[in-house]
A and B are shown apart, each in its own frame.
Chain A
Amino acid sequence: MFINQNRPRRTAAASLSTVGVLAVLSACASGGETAGGESFSIPDTDPTATVKVLSQLDLAKDNMQSVVDAFEQAHPTITIEWQTVPFDSLASTIDSRVSNKAGDPDVYWADQPRISALSARGMAQDLTEVFADAGDAFDPGAWNTGFYQDRLYALPIENSTQLVFCNLDLLQQAGLTAPSAAIDDRLTWEQLAADAVTATQGGAQYGLTFNQFDRYYQLEPLPVEKGGSTGVTGDDGLTPDFTSDEWVDALTWYQSLFETGAAPKGMTPEQTDTAFLAGQVAYTVSGPWLLPQLTDAGLNWGVTPQPTFEGSDTVATPTGSWSVAMNPFSKHKDAAAIFMNWLAIEDGGGYIAYRSNPSLPATVEGKEAYFQKDLFASPAGQDAAAIIDYETANTAVARPSTIGYIEFESILNSAFADIRNGADVAQALEDANDKLTVAWAKYE
């Protein structure tokens, strides 16, 4: 799933000051034997090589040229050969190109929920020996997405989280006070739903929207905050676990949003950000990608952390985005490792430092530079920065690590949509459970 699909193009070009160098390089000097492909290392002197990189990002359109130029300047003997395919065909392109064992591409962009599957199928190089000590540089939620069965297969290069944006004018119109931005002062989902209904009575066209209605990325926190699992259990990550009382409770609350009119029934994920920016929505749960558009839209907005349920002491927020992985058949693994290290780790990640419109970084150091941007200059922007910083470091719950993630997500998303349309919650989850059991039978 491409979670940042609604992200706007950021125009402001800002180069980041590079602060400090991580100590991980010293740990990377030694190579090691690995299960997924031949071993490699990060040598002291650069080899002369061409590294082929496969991504859904375009050099020009997605501002990746500046990143490639900066790398080639820092490592003159390594040339980057950039290949772009559309997002929709990225997974199948990786599948066919890695499978033919020619070693092209050397490095590819990996959608985080697919990392387990790629690793299990032998399509990602085991990076554990060389990169395992780099974990401290990253937010834990993002870092953990690279692991499959305790081995590291990918390095995160960007991240995401969710927070609640509110339209202060609509709130005032309905006699509601702006919710606090303080982490310790979290709303409850029940309160937010009630306030959303009040807002519609006060004139807001829509009370509450989720950026991604009916999608697992967005709804995963609900059952987790009720005390349920992420939906998958078992050592192999192939046992569905979403028919528990906690899941039924959480999704019954989700269904009630549409029955009480707190949230609109027919709206698709593609329409939610636009509706909020047009001033039609009182509260929206969305990602940091909304920030630059908010500044442009001239809305009077505020933020508050994503709520939890009444009486729950668990807080969970969505997380995850893109990583980079190495082809186990690559013929230039050392050079590829140098590129991945530079892109994801060095100085908070060259991907963040040299891309003019970076997304939320996955590294702690990258985030520091990210929050210096003009985007976060306003008081509301400062609030948003504090929330994003806290949630990515403390409450992020990664999507489950399972080789069957794609089926899992697709089947659950359909169940969420049915629940939203009024299906019996327990029955819908039971049906999804049966379907997933059939879909996962091939892994037995």
Chain B
Amino acid sequence: MTLAPTSRSGVSTSRRRPSAARHQVLWTIIFLAPAIVALLALRLAPSGQAIASSVFKAFPGGLVPPTFAGLDNYVALFGDPRFVDTVVRTLVFNVIINPLQIFVALLLAVLLVQRIPLDGVWRTLLFIPVTIPIVGSSVAWGAALGPDGPINTLLEAMGGNPQPFFTSPTQALAGIVVIASWIGIGYWMMFLISGLQAIPGELYEAARLDRAGPIRTFFSITIPMLRRPLLFVLVADTVSNFVLFVPIQMLTDGGPQDSTTLLMFDAYRTTYEYGSRNLGAAEVVILTAIMLFFVLLQFRLLREEKEKK
């Protein structure tokens, strides 16, 4: 926006500047208002509500007023070994799935920026899972990995044993990782491809002149130059995996034997299925705190990167 009028108008600038500044502030507010209102109504208010709700105790249903319970809900949650298991399971899940997705996405992105035939076709194919509603892909994967599904048929045809997949407490979470990655990898790959394409060609040329091999080039040029998009992908992917919900709700319902009960799903189940909305709110607060911790950690990495520059 252009601002301060100049003295060309012949009016003393000392008198016009404050009004122009006010003008600017006004327009800034007007333009930012929708975003701020949305942020307040859709992010901060529900978070505040969740925090408030988590320190009360109430009967389900709307007629009986809730009573203040302090930190009782939190004490109850952390006193329940099943909940602690759920938190640990959620952390382990994220420690595995995020690096896995980003590593594969990066591998594919590097592959697809090479001069290979039909690169557009491959990119499209890898991106297609993102465009399918997650409900649809969950149903399809559920059928594919069912006891009589095509994957087991294929396994048997190749002489292997049919696998229980979602009905086995040791395989179900891995199944969820596969579905989430099938969708996620193509999506994050697109960000990394654009990041790769933004790396100036002369850097690679210089590396070639210095006789750097492809591996050295990758670690000394590609990775450092890709650091910022990588960090963005890391943050966004982490958040999306912490709140992963649909495949769990549709395919395993948190089972078998709680092996796929992650914190987000548990908060939903506690709130809606079991009708314990205050306990559920406490779970949401805990989940948000864990997520914020990781996101802040990642932003810290981003800042260090800036400072180094």
Of the candidates B63, B80, B256, B279, the one whose C-beta lies within 8 Å of that of A121 is B63
Q: A121-B63, A421-B168 are in contact. Are A410 and B147 (CB under 8 A)?
A: no
A45 interface residue (CB < 8 Å to B): no
Interface SS of A by simple majority: helix
Given the interface pairs A266-B146, A438-B82, the reply to whether A414 lies near B59 with Cβ below 8 Å is no
For B, the interface residue count at a CB cutoff of 8 angstroms equals 32
B229 within 8 A of A: no
- Which chain B residues in 156-192 approach chain A with CB under 8 Å? 164, 167-169
Q: A294 to B22, alpha carbons, bound, how many Å?
A: 79
User: Do residues B60 and A442 form an inter-chain contact, with CB atoms below 8 A?
Assistant: yes
Looking at the assembled complex, report how far the CB atom of B59 sits from the nearest CB atom of chain A, in whole angstroms.
6
Q: Of the candidates B59, B146, B258, B276, which one forms a contact with A439 in the assembled complex, judged by CB atoms under 8 Å apart?
A: B276
Chain B, residues 120-153, CB within 8 Å of chain A (1/0): the string is 0000000000000000000000000011100000
A438 touches B76 (CB 8 A): yes
Contact check, A442 vs B63: say whether CB atoms are below 8 A apart: no
| Given A428-B257, A439-B274: A421 in contact with B80 (beta carbons within 8 A) | no
Q: Taking the complex as formed, is B304 at the interface, i.e. its CB lies under 8 A from any CB of chain A? A: no
A429 to chain B, nearest CB (A): 12
A315 to B59, CA, bound (A): 36
A123, B63: Cβ atoms closer than 8 Å: yes
- Say yes or no: A117-B61 contact (C-beta < 8 A), given A266-B167, A407-B273: yes
In the complex where A266-B148, A417-B256, A421-B168 touch, is A410 in contact with B61 (Cβ < 8 A)?
no
Closest to B273 in A: A410
The reply to whether A95 and B62 contact each other, CB–CB distance below 8 Å, is yes
Q: Does A423 contact B (CB under 8 A)?
A: yes
The interface residues of chain B, by DSSP majority, are classed as: loop
A235 vs B216: C-alpha distance in the bound complex, in angstroms? 74
Cβ contacts under 8 Å, B253 to chain A: 414, 417
**CB of B64 within 8 A of chain A?**
yes
Residue of A nearest to B168 (CB): A421
Alpha-carbon distance between A100 and B258 when the two chains are bound, in angstroms:
37
Cβ–Cβ contact B57 & A442, under 8 A: yes
* Chain B residues within 8 Å of A406, by CB: 273-275
* Contacting pair A410 B59 (CB below 8 A): no
Across-interface contacts of B247 in A (CB, < 8 A): none
- Is A265 located at the chain interface by the 8 A CB criterion? yes
Task: Point out which of A99, A117, A418, A434 has the most chain B C-beta atoms below 10 A from its C-beta.
Answer: A418
How many angstroms from the CA of A413 to the CA of B273 in the assembled complex?
A: 12
The 10 tightest CB contacts between A and B, nearest first, are A99-B62, A266-B147, A121-B61, A439-B274, A407-B274, A421-B167, A421-B256, A122-B63, A410-B273, A418-B257
Hey, which bits of chain B sit against chain A, CB under 8 A? Answer: 57-64, 76, 80, 82, 146-148, 164, 167-169, 253-258, 269-270, 273-276, 278-279
Given contacts A406-B273, A410-B273, A423-B169, 14 further A-B contacts (CB under 8 A): A99-B61, A100-B62, A121-B59, A266-B147, A406-B275, A407-B276, A410-B269, A411-B274, A417-B253, A417-B256, A421-B168, A421-B255, A428-B257, A439-B274
Residue pairs across A and B with Cβ atoms less than 8 A apart, 16 shown, are: A98-B62, A100-B62, A121-B63, A121-B64, A406-B273, A406-B275, A414-B253, A414-B254, A417-B253, A418-B256, A423-B257, A431-B257, A434-B80, A434-B82, A438-B279, A442-B276
